[in-house]
Chains A and B, each alone.
Chain A
Amino acid sequence: MIEVNGKAIEWEEGMTVENLLLKMNYTFPKIIIRVNGEIVAKELWGSFEIPDRADVHAHHLIAGG
């Protein structure tokens, strides 16, 4: 299991950031991803593999109304 924004999510071997965003249906174009406290640059999302038991923060930078 991993934690994503404080919620427990099923982990899969080889899960990349991109896979996670698809799984969570996080489609917003401006998201800051931190895995275990470290920012993962957007260009690495397709290759960066999230480890098991990781603490992931997907901070949506949305201004809203």
Chain B
Amino acid sequence: MNSSVEKMRASRKELARYDYKPASIERGYSGKTLYINISDQTIKSKDVTDQMKDIFIGGKGFGLWYLWNAVQPETKWNDPENEIVISSGPVGGITQYPGSGKSLVVTLSPLTNSVMDSNVGGFFGPYLKFSGWDALEIQGKAEKDIVILIDGDKGTVTIEEIDFQPGASHLISEQLTEMLAENEKDKMHISVVSSGSGAEHTNVGILNFSFYDLRRKAARMKQAGRGGTGTVFRDKKIAALAVKYSSLTGRSNNPADPAKISKTGVKITREINKFDNEQFRMRQIGTANLMTPMNDYDLLPVHNFKYGSHPDAVKISSDVLRDRFTQNMPDGCWIGCSLSCCKAVDNFELKSGPFKGEKVIVDGPEYENAAGLGSNCGIFDPDYVIEANFYCDTYGLDTISTGTMIAFTMECYENNIINKEITGGLELNFGNAAAAMELIHQMGRGEGFGLIVGQGVRRMKQIFAEEYGADPSFLQDIGMENKGLEYSQYQAKESLAQQGGYAMTNKGPQHDEAWLIFMDMVNNQLPSFEKKAEALHYFPMFRTWFGLQGLCKLPWNDIVPEGNAQTDSPEKIPEHVQNYVDLFNAVTGKNIDKEEMIRQSERVYNFQRIFNLRLGFGTREHDAAPYRALGPVTVEEYESRAERYDKQLEEDVGINPAGLSIEEKIKAMRKYREERYETLLNVVYKRRGWTENGIPRPEFVRELGIDFPEVMEVINKYI
């Protein structure tokens, strides 16, 4: 590597430079944002207004506000006007409370053609803020690959050409970190944002945000995974982005009440130390702890979400993955995180692809990777899951979308909708790990059937119908996407609340708005439509809040304090909600309560809904779900759970299944479930303050204080 890094250093050519004096951080804000236009190499500072702080708070709030002002209704994701906005938030960057290092990325998505937000760990967001910038806006397109470097120590921003080969994100992260660091310890002060070759050839490109792991002596990566942010990045010809900041302290946010922050952090760290091993084992297994319970409760996606469990799922169970992770390593993705859940597999020898034979660190697998790349494709091989995880990360491919895309093609292949001639010889049966791996490599190389798959499920449905004569209604039923974004990895057929939690989202079926499956399906805490509506209001609003602050949601409920079960609403983890209120007030000096916390999110959430409307989306029809997400599409699906479905027909639908053909039963079940979903839309919209068409009501928008003239102009077209 040293010779590559030396070559990089020697090749550096500065195209533009901006010298600045980093603003002091005051109560969680620098008060400045950085705007860069890479078409004309403009670099300038903008002020953060009080209105921005009051209404949009930070994080994706700032991202949405800047993007709204940058684009027109007809702007497309690959127009120069599209921006990538990256921001931490006012609470982001504290080191005393776990999960405080998140960055939020906002852009127009190549998958949905609408506004996308994605959250990511790693050090970039906090270092950006402490370098003097509450957000970074990048607009325009470069003619040739450029690198943007922000040096918070020296107070410089440069746009440069640097000679290195973009394409493999793990190498870019390593090499740029090496190039920018004075010494080994200095590597901890650097975070690199990059993508890979897969982002150049697909619509599902991710952004990798690095953080240097001193013990492993390696740059590791977390992902802004959803919606093609990396595809936009590479379309703009940004090869990489990096920030350097070396003066981090526990008081870098210059908080109003540092003692309160410390006290709250000590309290939760004690909880984690005491209870994590007997609760979710986040420090041992991370999110992969979900593999076993999801399979046990029939929620693990299997064979393109047809089923919820499989006898072979034990081969990629939580404990199998635990045994592959390297333990006793500090595995937090931000400094001071005591939940420390981003596990890694060290010294994994790759068996395929351009790095075959090399031993690498694999960040993960997280639950989504194991379920999406593994069980959803019928592949129950931990080595495959780990290798596919690695290549998706380094090629810059969203593992969630990739898993759902491959699973879709496998079902199409097994239904003879596509064949070996179309796939270029790949036998895409469920379970064929070699074929799936080759497909990932094709997406990385930009060739073969990978070029079609990489366009996403929505586009594949069109192509397969138009070019291969497939039945479009069958494809619509089994193609697990909503708004153009692929579903994340939970089989939610039996949870009406989660069906809404997926398809009624602003950006598409990502579960960061709501994860209600157990509350609904198992605990039966949401038996009525009204209770489901209340949950589909509260949880999306509550969870949106993390994205305004630069926080990770995991410490909210992936550790549970003593006495929680005795509270009125144990599912809300009230003590931790209060922690977050306290942290916000302690950093900013403000005095919000739990109600205002929700109101903060309501402003941004509704603004995002209206942004969707502005771009031609955002109405009720866009909240429709493919039928596979609601119920059994095929005979084999129905028959696999016949006892359950027959019982439901009898008890819930009032139809005696005896004597009915399987097709009649499927049809009756479908009518019931689709009608239920429509009823859910009605009650949720009402609870959220929206019309029956999903439009935020003008009086509610005024109440929220986001009734800007341009916002009301959008709404009034629909009212």
Residues of A within 8 A of B524 (CB): 5-7
The docked-state distance in angstroms from the alpha carbon of A30 to that of B297 is 14
Which residues of the other chain, A, contact B293 by a CB distance below 8 angstroms? 27-28, 62
| B68 contacts partner chain A, Cβ-Cβ < 8 Å | no
- B64-98 to A contact mask, C-beta < 8 Å, 1/0: 00000000000000000000000000000000000
Distance to closest chain B CB from A32 (angstroms): 5
Q: Is the CB of A65 within 8 A of B522?
A: no
Beta-carbon nearest neighbor of A4 in chain B: B524
Q: Which residues of A contact B560 (CB under 8 A)?
A: 30, 61, 63
Size of the chain A interface, CB-CB below 8 angstroms: 20
The residue from B296, B527, B554, B564 contacting A6, defined by CB atoms under 8 A apart: B527
A residues in contact with B367, CB < 8 Å = 65
Interface-located stretch among B260-268, B412-420, B510-518, B682-690 = B510-518
User: Are the C-beta atoms of A65 and B570 separated by less than 8 Å?
Assistant: no
Question: B35 interface residue, CB < 8 Å from A?
Answer: no
A24 (CB) vs chain B CBs: closest residue:
B522
- For the complex, give the distance between the alpha carbons of A52 and B266 in Å: 46
Which residues of chain A (3-47) have a CB below 8 Å from chain B?
A: 5-7, 25-30, 32, 39
Docked-complex contact B527 and A61, CB < 8 angstroms: no
Most A CB within 10 A of own CB, among B290, B488, B522: B522
Tell me the minimal C-beta distance from B80 to chain A in angstroms.
Answer: 35
B511 and A5 contact, CB distance less than 8 A: no
Chain B residues whose CB sits within 8 angstroms of the CB of A63 once the complex forms: 280, 515, 554, 557-558, 560
Residues of chain B from 556 to 614 with CB closer than 8 A to chain A in the complex: 557-558, 560, 564-566, 570
Q: Which residues of A contact B278 (CB under 8 A)?
A: 29-30
Nearest opposing residue in chain B for A6, CB measure: B524
CB-defined contacts of A62 to chain B, threshold 8 Å: 280, 293, 518
What's the Cα separation between A60 and B520 when bound, in Å?
Answer: 11
Q: With A and B bound together, what is the CA distance between A39 and B296 in angstroms?
A: 24
Asked if A59 CB lies within 8 Å of chain B CBs, one says yes
Q: Is the CB of B488 within 8 A of A64?
A: no
CA distance A23 to B584 in the complex (A): 45
Residues of B within 8 Å of A60, CB to CB, are 518, 522-523
B199–chain A nearest beta-carbon distance, Å: 24
Q: A28 CA to B560 CA in the complex, in Å?
A: 15
- Candidates A32, A58, A59, A61; contact of B279 at CB < 8 Å: A61
Q: Is B368 engaged at the interface, CB distance under 8 Å to the other chain?
A: yes
- Say whether A28 contacts B297, CB under 8 Å: yes
| B287 interface hit (Cβ, 8 Å) | yes
With A and B bound together, what is the CA distance between A31 and B70 in angstroms?
A: 49
Which A residue sits closest to B297, measured CB to CB? A28
Could you list which residues of chain B lie within 8 angstroms of chain A, going by C-beta atoms? 278-280, 287, 290, 292-293, 296-297, 367-368, 488, 490, 511-512, 515, 517-518, 522-525, 527, 554, 557-558, 560, 564-566, 570
| A-B contact list, 18 entries, CB within 8 Å | A7-B524, A27-B292, A27-B297, A28-B293, A28-B296, A29-B278, A30-B280, A39-B566, A59-B525, A59-B570, A60-B518, A63-B558, A63-B560, A64-B290, A64-B511, A64-B517, A65-B290, A65-B368
